[in-house]
A and B are shown apart, each in its own frame.
Chain A
């Protein structure tokens, strides 16, 4: 169970602490904070953290659209995302934002309870790993 983060958000936000691991060198890991965002189709990981563990983006890009219609392109990256004792492997996207986003592609493997009135979140069982 983690309290929502208040310091850097106008409205308290559910933040996950996630371990990123180089799939080719499991000794290279880093923990990052990601915004739990069920409204996001996909997960965006900060480039600075990927650089730290020696994972480089691939030339493939995907076009993204924000709620206001703004479109951007983001490069793909292959990395292990370790969250709540579950490793998700596959393609995610890279962002130069300081804080990334934990999207539905990875949240699909978890049961997450957002306890808004108490400004905290907690996990249930990871159904895909059972």
Chain B
């Protein structure tokens, strides 16, 4: 199962998706309510880079081959 989320608008009790978002007619839709305590500063950017490039070493990964992933 692939789960995708999009910000939704609610007006007079009716939900609507942002312009340009297409959802298949057969899709199962769940409503996720985000409360105010989740409203922390968030990242909304593409191609972000570290403001302090020397920190890149903190993100070095260990790669292991596995046979049962997607």
- Which residues of A lie under 8 Å from residue B58 when comparing CB positions? 62, 91
Chain A residues with CB under 8 Å of B1's CB are 31
The count of residues in chain A whose C-beta lies closer than 8 Å to any C-beta of chain B is: 60
Number of interface residues of B (CB under 8 A): 40
- A72 contacts B69, CB within 8 Å? no
Asked whether B56 is an interface residue with its Cβ less than 8 Å from the other chain, the reply is yes
Q: Which residues on A sit within 8 Å (CB–CB) of B52? A: 62-63
Contact digits for A97-128, partner B, Cβ 8 Å, 1 yes 0 no: 11101010110110000000000000000101
Is A86's CB within 8 Å of the partner chain B?
yes
Asked whether B43 lies within 8 Å of A82 as measured between CB atoms, the reply is no
Inter-chain contact A17/B64, CB cutoff 8 Å: no
Determine if B69 and A37 form an interchain contact, defined as CB atoms under 8 angstroms apart: no
